[in-house]
Structure 1
Amino acid sequence: MAAKKQYLLVKQAEDYARAVIAGKIVACKWIRLACKRHLADKRASRKRDYPYKFDPALAEKVAKFLQLLPHTKGKWASKRQTIKLEPWQLFAVCVPFGWIRKKDRTRRYRTITVFVPRKNGKSIIGGGLGLYMFSADGEFGAEIYSGATTEKQAWEVFRPAKLMAERTPPLREHFGIDVNASSMIRMEDGSRFEPVIGKPGDGSSPSCAIVDEYHEHNDSTLFDTMETGMGAREQPLMLVITTAGSSIGGPCHQLIRDCERMLEGSIQRDDLWAMLYTIDEGDDWTSEEVLKKANPNYGVSISGDFLEARQREAMQSTAKQATFRTKHLNQWVGAKEAWMNMIKWQQQPERKTLSELEGRRCIIGLDLASKIDVAATLLLFPPAEGDPNWHLHGRYYLPEARVLEHVDSNSSRYMEFNALGLMSLTDGEVIDYEVIKDDLREFAGRFDLEQVAYDPWQATQLAQEMEAEGLTMVEVRQTVQNISEPMKELEKLVLEKKLAHGNCPVLTWMASNVVAKIDAKDNIYPNKERADNKIDGIVGAIMAISRAIRTEKEDEYVDTSFIGLL
């Protein structure tokens, strides 16, 4: 009887998963869940009606292929050494290739997301898998694209793959690969591997798209275009390899949130594989343990000394803290000099729906900013009996022409917000204020609308018209004197976990864009790093809070000047 074939690299990968689950290897919640998911799915695959099965031979094939490739930089490249995958890499990037559909043996996973801090071997993963999909995957006329928004970023994956091919003559000869200045071609079937900036050309049909550092993308245009172009392929693959970034609510952050929800089991995505290396909520970011937890290649491609030095710098400099936590701990901390603690922002209580809030006291902050840009109406519901939380709902407006004509880099994002029902695209070149007025009338009928705060710079005529209809319109000029205290109050509510904002993608994105301008008297004012970083929703919320706290102070005031006359 023939001995059972041993798949030693797959065994290393699964030993890693078991060690993570047993607590022998320090890892965050998401990695533990990913390991449990694989092993649980293997047990489930024994059932006849389970649609997938794991073929270790396919995973082993990918792992062996990658380990035949040479290093392209660093001490290993200087010694002409070939790649030796670490157990985490075997599990993260090779094991998903072993999962197939029982009915046709095509790949189960169509999107592989590897979320890992800098210097943890991303070029090996991206370049190596790109070469595999180009040459050894068995796809006739394969099209592999290393996609990015800039030429430099597109080459971050393609350059290592090109060097690997150039330094491996047997690979070129066996698969008939021609290496050109900016592409690789297989003449036998016309397969190609090349970097792409922006969208691939018309007629492109990617069999594999590699998106490196997705956090740098302002919108999901490239991702969506690649994915749409894969329709004719039998088993295409989208590979996303990225660190965290500063754009909370951007397409990368939304993808990572989908991965988290999938791992938690709140959404079902059988075609999504995700390995998310970061730290856990409540971890002390200044401890040594978090360095090992977030960086799986700790002591291999990134030294402990290097990480500890960066950590010490971050502990001594607030300016360097956000960069360290983003790039080396994979935490989303908002804008590069962000005002809002975005980790705390995501930990707020559950928000009541507008239907549940009907009849409640309500204050509106109206930020019209400009007729050709984003406008925001923020509904603030202060605490009520039995409910200590402040509830925040927003409606956002933009002229449709601005989106259709792609006037700024956020156009695709705005279309996504509109599809989710979070942003109204009004007809024409400028915002139709009638849409906003209709919404104000609706709110006045549904809630105990106490007042509407507005900045007279853009809204005087609208305010006069609504006041004539019986709404209480209150000027709140956007000066430091008017904005500083409520802005601090908004931050305080977040830190106290009392601001129920429902994780609205629009408001979350805007909150991450806010940079605090601080003067010598410790007054603060909301600002942004560039014009495309919209903050209108947060400005509207601050205006509403300014009236809420002003009203509370007025209610607490008691005039005692006549007491002596009694």
Structure 2
Amino acid sequence: MKMTTTSKISSGIINVLNKPSPKLLATWYAEQVVAGNIIASKNVKLACQRHLNDLKRAGTDDFPYVFDEDLGHRPIRFIEKFCKPSKGNFKQLILQPWQHFVIGSLFGWVHKETKLRRFKEGLIFVGRKNGKTTLISGLSLYGVSKDGENGADIPLLANSMKQARLLFDEAKAMIKASPKLRKYFRPLRDAIHYDETFSKIEPQASDSEKLDGLNTHIGVFDEIHEYKDYKLINVIKNSRGAREQPLLIYITTAGYQLDGPLVNYYEQGADVLDGVIEDERTFYYLAELDDQNEFDQPEMWIKANPNLGVSIKLTDMIEDWEKAKRTPAERNDFITKRFNLFVNSSEQAFLDFEVIKRNNKILDIESLRGHPCVGGFDLSQTEDFTSACLEFPLCSGEVFVLSHSWVPRKKVMLNNEKIPYEALENDGLLTICEKDYVDYEDVEDWFIQQSKQFNIELITYDPANAYRLVNNLENKGFKTLAVRQGFLTLSPALKDVKELFLDGKVIFNKNKLFQWYLNNVKLVEDRNGNWLPQKQGRYRKIDGFAAFLNAHTEVMKKMVKPAGNGSVEVISVKDLLK
């Protein structure tokens, strides 16, 4: 946001007079991004291309939506006319082209006949200091007064009441600063009332007592990177039933909660924008750096900070980065909050989120029927997670991991990890055992069933608690091998696995439970530089990774052979495991 007549975009200054009329700025921004005249992240470019593509098919039989520029511009006009930021001595708030694109898209795309909003949800993912609080506070005041809804509830939502009140207090400050708004709004300590439509704005948090009585018209979720589960989100989604065009807006930076709702929504958004899945009712604006090489390229930082040069001074940001990158904890925080990239909070984390994300290939498991593979299992305690896997070495130098886990119903009822157990079971990634413990015969049966499709040459295992299962497997004709859980045995496999992940050569078909295990692994290192895997906390399980690592201690030996010149080369699948 900027309070003058110019807008800094990319590395130059574009005068407002050279831009089209304000109503057309949303489409203008999309055109400029796609043309490369405005530097933007890959996902923002895809969002802009999606907008332009939709304009071409607007109103057709298979696409009933149209872009109404007037409807898209109404909230922008309201914010610029009546809303002033509480900080700074500014007489007028002028929204930037990227904000025109976001707001214009959310409010301008409507059904061609009913004129009801197309988008039911929107994820706005940008770095810190890009005017999120001011933008959402203004939108909330518009939604409660000028959006054509009576009795509309607009909850301002966060993981804590303290965070929720930041948005709420900014909206109250806007009312206080505007004689027009003061005339019609009635701000109280815990609610802002707009009596003409019997509507109100309230701060709400996960522990709020009044959540179940809401009748949500527009729900604003702030900083959902802090959310560990879907409790608050689900309550609000279930409160929209009486509304014709409800809208949920998630506005956030990246964070450290790598198995929470934000990462799930982000990955869905990336898939939608890439055309992998279809979702015509959710809007995505994902501003981030595209590559770690851009960390030291300030001209690229606008990708994560579309308000760069407006609410953010580039010289200050460069100075802050030069200082932060010398301290690991500060560096991670800067990357997360300012470059808007997910980072594992543990300084010893085995894999960064960006590394895990690049291993995103999908392989048809039917294509592996009859292929040789190595099994692995980690039994842990019977009252906790138990995991097994098959690892398939591929001709390409990649490996495919088929992973499955078991957990007793008793643990599901406690759910200290805030894991969506039932959803994982529905996806075929997990079995919830009705007993109070995991019966190891279930693991045995899994290997037997897999052996009907795949050539399981060997099953590796952690010797702890494994005697009975190993005995049963051997009696069924499986070959087994104990893997000692020490530095000398596991370190070479850990280092090889990390190289595979860095090269994007681990295929696990985006198994969410396996990804959770990966996020939970950190390293301990002995004085000789050898590694061991360790979980990051009491509830951060790594059983699925441990099973995979057991298998990889043998797979890695089979994937290479001497090439005669002191180097090695990948061998073919036919030669594997002989």
Q: Please tell me whether the aligned partners of residues 110 and 271 of structure 1 are also in contact (alpha carbons under 8 angstroms).
A: yes
* CA distances 1:247-296 after superposition (whole Å, capped 9, x unpaired): 44432112112212222222221111111111225753221222122210
Q: 1:367 aligns with which of 353, 378, 381?
A: 378
Does the CA-based 8 Å contact 1:362-1:382 persist in structure 2? Answer: yes
Letter in 2 for 1:344: V
CA contact (8 A) 1:13 1:91 kept: yes
Task: Verify the 8 A CA contact 2:55 2:67 in the aligned structure 1.
Answer: yes
Displacement of 1:527: 2.6
Look up the match of 1:379: 390
SS of residue paired to 1:108: coil
Equivalent position to 1:233, from 225, 232, 243 = 243
Q: Is the 8 A contact 1:71 1:81 kept in 2?
A: yes
Decide which of 69, 72, 88 is 1:56's aligned counterpart. Answer: 69
- Could you tell me which of 373, 377, 398 is aligned with 1:389? 398
Residues 354-375 of structure 1: CA deviation (Å, up to 9, x unaligned): 3322222221221222223222
Matching residue's letter, 1:388:
G
Matches of 1:458 and 1:305, distance apart in 2: 59
Map of 1:187-202 to 2, 5 A cutoff?
Answer: 187-198=195-206, 201-202=211-212
Q: CA deviation at 1:500?
A: 1.7
**C-alpha deviation, 1:392, in angstroms:** 0.8
Query: 3-state SS of the aligned residue for 2:71?
Result: helix
Between 189-198 and 256-265, the greater mean CA deviation after superposition: 189-198
Q: Percent identity?
A: 30
Which residue is 1:246 aligned to? 256
The aligned counterpart of 1:326 is 336
Aligned to 1:399: 408
1:500 maps to 507
Aligned counterpart, 1:3: none
Please list, as runs of the form range in 1=range in 2, the aligned pairs for 1:324-473 lying within 5 A after superposition.
324-337=334-347, 338-348=349-359, 350-383=361-394, 386-403=395-412, 405-411=413-419, 413-473=420-480
Deviates more, 1:287-296 or 1:347-356: 347-356
- 1:560 — aligned with what? none
Determine the structure 2 residue equivalent to 1:184: 192
Q: Which residue of 2 aligns with 1:275?
A: 285
Q: Which region of structure 1 is more displaced relative to structure 2, 54-63 or 439-448?
A: 439-448
CA contact (8 A) 1:9 1:63 kept: no
Distance of aligned partners of 1:192 and 1:374 in 2 relative to their CA distance in 1, 3 Å threshold: farther
2:121·2:249 contact (CA, 8 Å) conserved in 1?
A: yes
d(CA) in 1 for partners of 2:57, 2:557 = 59
Q: Which residue of 1 aligns with 2:109?
A: 99
Which residue pairs with 1:23 in the alignment? Answer: 36
Q: 1:429 to 1:140 in 2, by over 3 A?
A: farther
After superposition, the C-alpha distances for 1:196-238 in whole angstroms (9 at most, x for unaligned) are 2227633433112111111211122322332232122110001
- How far apart, CA to CA, are the structure 2 residues paired with 1:429 and 1:132? 53
Shift of 1:504: 1.7
Amino acid at match of 1:402: K
Contact 1:246 1:336 in 2 (8 A): no
The question of whether the paired residues in 1 share the 8 Å contact of 2:24 and 2:69 is answered with no
Contact 1:410 1:532 (C-alpha < 8 Å) held by counterparts? no
- What CA distance in whole angstroms lies between the structure 2 residues aligned with 1:185 and 1:409? 39
- TM-score, scaled relative to structure 1: 0.88
Given the alignment, which residue of 125, 148, 160 partners 2:135? 125
Could you state the TM-score of these two structures normalised by the residue count of structure 2?
0.87
Structure 2: stretches of 5+ with no match in the other structure = 1-18, 564-578
SS of 2:466's partner is helix
Matched, 1:65 2:72: no
Structure-2 separation of matches of 1:389 and 1:552: 9
Residues 157 and 479 (structure 1), Cα distance of their counterparts in 2 relative to 1, 3 Å cut: farther
**Distance in 1, Cα, partners of 2:526 & 2:82:** 55
Q: Which residue of 2 aligns with 1:537?
A: 544
Which of 37, 40, 44 is the aligned partner of 2:53?
A: 40
Distance 2:438 2:227 in 1: 27
Q: Check the 8 A contact 2:302/2:308 in 1, yes or no.
A: yes
Cα distance in structure 2, aligned partners of 1:476 and 1:273 = 48
- CA RMSD of superposed structures (Å): 2.7
Q: CA 1:539/1:156 → structure 2, altered by over 3 Å: closer, same or farther?
A: farther
Inter-partner Cα distance in structure 1 for 2:502 and 2:452: 33
- Give, in whole Å, the separation in 2 of the partners of 1:543 and 1:257: 29
Say whether the 8 Å CA contact 1:55–1:98 is kept in structure 2: yes
The answer to whether the Cα contact below 8 Å between 2:216 and 2:240 also exists between their aligned partners in 1 is: yes
SS at match of 1:25: coil
Q: Which residue of structure 2 aligns with residue 8 of structure 1?
A: 21
Matching residue of 2:522: 515
| Cα distance in 1 for residues equivalent to 2:280 and 2:362 | 29
Instruction: Sort the Cα spacing of 1:108 and 1:402 in 2 relative to 1 into closer, same or farther, 3 A.
Output: same
Matches of 1:159 and 1:540, distance apart in 2: 50
Residue aligned with 2:241, SS: helix
Q: Cα–Cα, structure 1 residues 181 and 546, in superposed 2: closer, same or farther, change >3 Å? A: same
Q: What is the SS of the residue equivalent to 2:30?
A: helix
Return the offset for 1:434: 2.9
Superposed CA offset, 1:461-517 (max 9, x none): 333333333333332243333322211111011123322222222222221222222
List gaps (5 residues or longer) in structure 1: 1-5, 557-566
- 1:113/1:549 CA distance change after superposition, 3 Å: closer
Deviation at 1:125, TM superposition (A): 2.2
Partner amino acid for 2:186? D
SS in 1 for 2:370: coil
Aligned partner of residue 451 in structure 1, secondary structure: strand
Match of 2:174 in 1: 164
Deviates more, 1:352-361 or 1:60-69: 352-361
Q: Judge conservation of contact 2:211–2:235 (CA < 8 Å) in 1.
A: no
SS in 2 for 1:105: coil
The equivalent position to 1:218 in structure 2, one of 205, 215, 228, is: 228
CA distance in 2: counterparts of 1:35 and 1:456, whole angstroms = 54
Q: In the aligned structure 2, how far is the partner of 1:51 from the partner of 1:552?
A: 53
Q: Distance in 2 between matches of 1:148 and 1:371?
A: 37
Q: Report how many residues are paired.
A: 542
